[in-house]
Structure 1
Amino acid sequence: MVDSKGKGCVLSHTDQSNNIITQKIIEELNNLKDWQPAVTENKKEEKSSINIAFLIKDNAIDGGIERVDINAFKKSFDNPTKPEIFNKSYTYKNENLKNYNITIWNSKNSNLPNNMTDHIAIDNNGVIWLTVDEGLVKFDGTKFINAEQNITEKGKFFSYYAIDVDNDNVKWVYGTNNIYSYNDKEWTKYDPKVIGIDGAYKIINNPKTNEVFFCSDEGLTIYKDSKWSNLNQDKIKELPSNRVTFARRDSKKRIWIGTFSGSVMIDENGKITNFENSNTILKGKCITSMDEDENGNLYFTLFEFNRTDKQKVNNDEGIAIRYNDGTFKQFTTENSGMPFNHANCIIYDKKEKVIWISTDRAGLVRFDLKDGWENYHNENSEIPTSYISTMKLDKNGDLYLATRRGLVKIERK
């Protein structure tokens, strides 16, 4: 990847042997100065990616730019990469894997438009909503139906980046430069000047308080009872940043907020805890997802936002549990069965009393909250990839995975 300032970073490579020569190439590419950023209509692109192919033969190395069009790029996701298991000390027995049926829908075995599913929501009727590359579809269990908004012209590019469903079964979607809602009859577009935002990192429904949270660069925007409000640094001086990537209420009505500069908690009385001023494991971390069990224990995925080594992949992240007595515990590749420390989503399964964790390099993790860790991916299960964007549980307790190789359902036999 090359950014607009000419800084380059190797995002991935295809050498499954992880040869020392490959590591040296990556080091040199990352240290290479003055990359030439891509330019469109005299404007430097914020981010662009290139493929570089190297041939090592007869004690010589040769390399060059590999020109790839967008269709070839999308097709490349049909070839899953090898899972990267950074935990070398834990033995994964995966004894529960046999208890699940795994079903995959992709563009080859169904009418799914393409396999690039990044965001997922399940409505009150059990219909699954998926963002697929630049489109939006709904799935009734049999077929995928195009469900894109029809009140804004698509233009040259239009895509969907976040989705959730509120208590009234209204679908909330962030499409290019606008927030939309859909009540199964018509689409509504919200004026950014009125609601204060034109996009969102995440949209999160809070069923117990009937609030919908929109996490964006403008702070935390809350929709409730047809009214919009906003929490930002102007109103909350303890908020580390207006760049809110995640927020959710727990059963005690506390709001947990993750920003790119730290995490905070606002309790039921409005008292604010900035964890950057604490000695807890949340210091230096951004909360990126959260769930809660019936006993009030909270489960978090973490992002280390101020890493000293920017090139390091397996960082001080993992997951954290805040027990109902107020104590925290972090689980990483160093002290648990976490296969990789960067997790995308965490879900508590009340039927099985386990938590599910999705990662973008090591597949799916099942943790029984005692000492049992299991790791499912494309080399030891029917899950077609080690890259899982996010997850949702339906009312039956079936787990759905949004992946870059289609929609996956994990159902207990």
Structure 2
Amino acid sequence: MMTKRSCKVLHLIFNLIIISIATIVYSQGAEWVNFTSGRKVTALAIDGNHIWIGTTGGLVNLDTSTGNMIFYNKANSGLPNNNIYSIMIDSSGNKWIGTSYGLAIYDEVYWTVYDTSNSKLPSNIIRCLAFDKNGNKWIGTDGGLVKFDGSNWIVYNENNSGLPNNIVSVIKLDELGNKWIGTWGGLAVFDDSSWTVYDIYNSEIPSPRINDLEIDDQGNKWVATEEYEVAYKYYGGGFAKFDGNEWTVYNSDNSSLPSNNNYTIAIDNDGSKWIGTDYGLVNFDGLNWVVYDTWNSELPNDNVSDIIIDNYNNKWIGTLGGGLSKFDGVNWSQHNPSNTGLTQDFGCQIVIDKEKNIWVSSCWGLIKFDGINWHFHEIPTKQKCITAIAIDKKDVIWVGAADWVWNFDGQNWTFLKSFNLIPPDKINTIIIDKQDNKWFGFLLSGLSKFDGINWTTYNTDNSNLPCNTISSMISDVQGNIWIGTNSGLVKFDSSNWTIYNSENSGLPGNHVSCIAIDSIENIWIGTIYDGLAKFDGFNWTTFNSNNTDLPHSIINTINTVTVDEHNNIWIGTYDGLVKFDGLTWNIFNKYNSGLSGNTIQKIVIDNKGNKWIMDGGISVYREGGVILNIKNQSTSYLPSSFKLYQNYPNPFNAFTTINFQIPKSSKVTIKIYDILGREVRTLVDYFYSAGNHSTTWDGLDNLGHKVSSGVYFYCMESIDFKEVKKALLLK
């Protein structure tokens, strides 16, 4: 029987009938924030005075008239992934964005996402896009070529068509509407009925690996290829022109091309060809070659990934490591499409000082984030790739790498390495104990302790240390040093060494990767291949993918583990982030959360409960909304109103995420109803703090039974708020 709390679903069905079931109105909410690098530019598109920039860290809209940028990523938009492969803009101004996890369409208000779960896309890797004059979208994937007319999907692959290879890298249409399709197995031409293939066996194409193609005003096809080896035969790659009959090949042997690895081509208003290589940018006017690189120009990086030409004949050049450049033929200007403003990539080490500043390693120095601004501090040495960092009681940052130790007090660097005092070896880990001693764990040389004056080194020759490879260390409240090695776990009390391994204890494996200690002094040990272990001083408990919901994660490898103020255990794996509260395992990955990547290298937790997660970039997560500290003040991203977001993905076939926001602490209920208004499942019936929240539906009813495919409605109710949205379950 229908109840008042059913949100009058039957009445709302008629109001919602015309809502498109494919449209995903999506915003991740402020529980997640992504800080990413946009220095690796992968795709470019022009929309009037705006350049849309695809990067490995998300999507950027650059207003060329003002220089302002808007950043879109997995955490603040409907992008399914931060790794962008392609961008095209249709006649209505919609942005079609190919990613490594599906196709997104953005009309600057709503996001629509298609992937293998809600469409007939054969692969979620979308490498290229093209539109024909009838409005059909041609989509190049790693599973073949797809034609999409807005309703129907047609897939062409090696098995059902003349496509020479299923990895489609470029699609261009000639004036007759023929599709020229570059693949990793040659070039194909499709006229909607028949196929013609040009490959290394029947033509003079220089390589089967096609990266880009352009068609000039005379109908010539200009093809960018790269060096490739197949069936033990080497193909040199290069740049080729095809006039319909003959091939003309340019390479580093017969021309001024600096490299045979050619990634992109653009043709300017004068008919000159601009070629992106891994050794710079090349201009070819048909006779003369001009090469621009980091030595003779202001090109920021020699690896040129994409080029577009605007209406003023300016060249916009995307690089893999130097961001975006504009070249007007004389002058260069640089644009950094990173939402941090940094020109350095993040490393994998992160610590927090007493002032709540975040310090992150990079290959060139230290990066500091004060809650608003990012600052870079370069190490004054040629060997700059930091592998370990720690902060002492005076907020001095200690950094180590291969063969050296420095410290940084916020202004000055001090060099402490002395070859006769500590081993000339890579430093894997640094900790500071309660007496402010610095402990350095090495790759192959054991560990060293520095008390501010003296160095003491421990290894297998002068101590009971079972192995000289030190992966992790931590100090407990008694001052014991717990040491992770490749031969087990070690406890050192400054006199005695106690060794735990898989033979004399419950340690599941001897390759210890990380260690954490909770508030009741349980030791949590992550291993390589053997999962997670807890040791309470007497008993051992092992957690792995066989006996818990831990993700399989490269055969139970744990990269990092830490503990929050509520004794929740946060675990970094190769398959995402895991929260364990002692009973329940919650899995966060790049598909169901705001994580930008699944490989979690490090997690630290600040005093506001923000989890700072190294996942290729930096993702920040906090239940209820991220709070960024600025000295002793805080800026909280909390909503000002109630809102229920469209579920994502939609349609779905396994699980779907429902995001919602509340402006104040409130009781919230979210229920699922079928098309007849019958309650199917209560997802939420709790009190929540103000902020952004999410829940998931796995397609089960209240009894745990799988429900049938079809349209369902989810209803959110709270104080003076009620909203219903529609979800489509497909199996």
TM surpasses 0.5: yes
Amino acid at match of 2:209: C
| Percent of paired sites with the same residue | 25
* Alignment partner of 1:333 is 2:252: yes
Which residue among 351, 355, 366 is the counterpart of 2:273? 355
Structure 2 SS opposite 1:120: strand
* Alignment partner of 1:290 is 2:202: no
In 2, the alpha carbon distance for the partners of 1:223 and 1:129 equals 23
Query: What are the Cα deviations for residues 147-183 of structure 1, in whole angstroms up to 9, with x where unaligned?
Result: 33656598xx853333222232211123452221101
Q: Which residue matches 1:118?
A: 41
Q: Which residue matches 1:140?
A: 63
* Alignment partner of 1:322 is 2:242: yes
Amino acid at match of 1:174: G
Q: Which residue matches 2:458?
A: none
Q: Which residue matches 2:384?
A: none
Q: Which runs of 5+ in 2 are unaligned?
A: 1-34, 331-731
Within a 5 Å distance, the mapping from 1:295-314 to structure 2 comes to 295-307=218-230
Structure 1 SS opposite 2:226: strand
Q: Which residue matches 2:174?
A: 250
In 2, the alpha carbon distance for the partners of 1:395 and 1:206 equals 20
Q: Judge which range, 251-260 or 206-215, deviates more.
A: 206-215
Contact 2:238–2:250 at 8 Å: present in 1 too?
yes
Structure 2 SS opposite 1:192: coil
Amino acid at match of 1:133: T
Q: Which runs of 5+ in 1 are unaligned?
A: 1-111
In 1, the alpha carbon distance for the partners of 2:318 and 2:200 equals 36
Within a 5 Å distance, the mapping from 1:13-412 to structure 2 comes to 114-141=37-64, 142-148=67-73, 150=76, 158-193=82-117, 194-206=119-131, 208=133, 210-236=135-161, 238-266=162-190, 268=191, 270-276=193-199, 279-282=202-205, 284-307=207-230, 316-323=236-243, 325-349=244-268, 351-360=269-278, 362-369=279-286, 371-403=287-319, 404-412=321-329
Q: Which residue matches 2:601?
A: none
In 2, the alpha carbon distance for the partners of 1:153 and 1:409 equals 26
Q: Shift in Å at residue 225 of structure 1?
A: 4.6
Runs of 4+ in 1 over 4 A off after TM superposition: 149-154, 307-310
Contact 2:275–2:281 at 8 Å: present in 1 too?
yes
Q: Judge which range, 340-349 or 145-154, deviates more.
A: 145-154
In 2, the alpha carbon distance for the partners of 1:412 and 1:227 equals 45
The number of residues matched between the two structures is 291
Q: Shift in Å at residue 131 of structure 1?
A: 2.7
Query: Kindly tell me: are residues 336 and 144 of structure 1, through their superposed partners in 2, closer, same or farther at Cα, counting changes over 3 Å?
Result: same
Query: Kindly tell me: are residues 392 and 211 of structure 1, through their superposed partners in 2, closer, same or farther at Cα, counting changes over 3 Å?
Result: farther
Query: Kindly tell me: are residues 250 and 276 of structure 1, through their superposed partners in 2, closer, same or farther at Cα, counting changes over 3 Å?
Result: same
Q: Which fold has the larger relative contact order, with Cα–Cα distance below 8 Å and residues 6 or more apart in sequence? A: 1
Query: Kindly tell me: are residues 253 and 304 of structure 1, through their superposed partners in 2, closer, same or farther at Cα, counting changes over 3 Å?
Result: farther
Contact 1:119–1:163 at 8 Å: present in 2 too?
no
Q: Shift in Å at residue 354 of structure 1?
A: 0.6
Query: What are the Cα deviations for residues 259-315 of structure 1, in whole angstroms up to 9, with x where unaligned?
Result: 22333222x3633222248532127523221111111111111235434679x8xx5
Query: What are the Cα deviations for residues 336-360 of structure 1, in whole angstroms up to 9, with x where unaligned?
Result: 22111111101111x2221000012
Structure 2 SS opposite 1:203: strand
In 2, the alpha carbon distance for the partners of 1:306 and 1:226 equals 40
Amino acid at match of 1:398: N
Contact 1:286–1:303 at 8 Å: present in 2 too?
yes
Query: Kindly tell me: are residues 306 and 182 of structure 1, through their superposed partners in 2, closer, same or farther at Cα, counting changes over 3 Å?
Result: same
Q: Which residue matches 2:453?
A: none
In 2, the alpha carbon distance for the partners of 1:365 and 1:277 equals 25
In 2, the alpha carbon distance for the partners of 1:357 and 1:281 equals 20
Taking structure 2 as the reference length, the TM-score comes to 0.37
Q: Which residue matches 2:568?
A: none
Amino acid at match of 2:245: G
Structure 1 SS opposite 2:326: strand
Contact 1:213–1:222 at 8 Å: present in 2 too?
yes
In 2, the alpha carbon distance for the partners of 1:359 and 1:304 equals 11
Higher strand share: 2
Query: What are the Cα deviations for residues 16-68 of structure 1, in whole angstroms up to 9, with x where unaligned?
Result: xxxxxxxxxxxxxxxxxxxxxxxxxxxxxxxxxxxxxxxxxxxxxxxxxxxxx
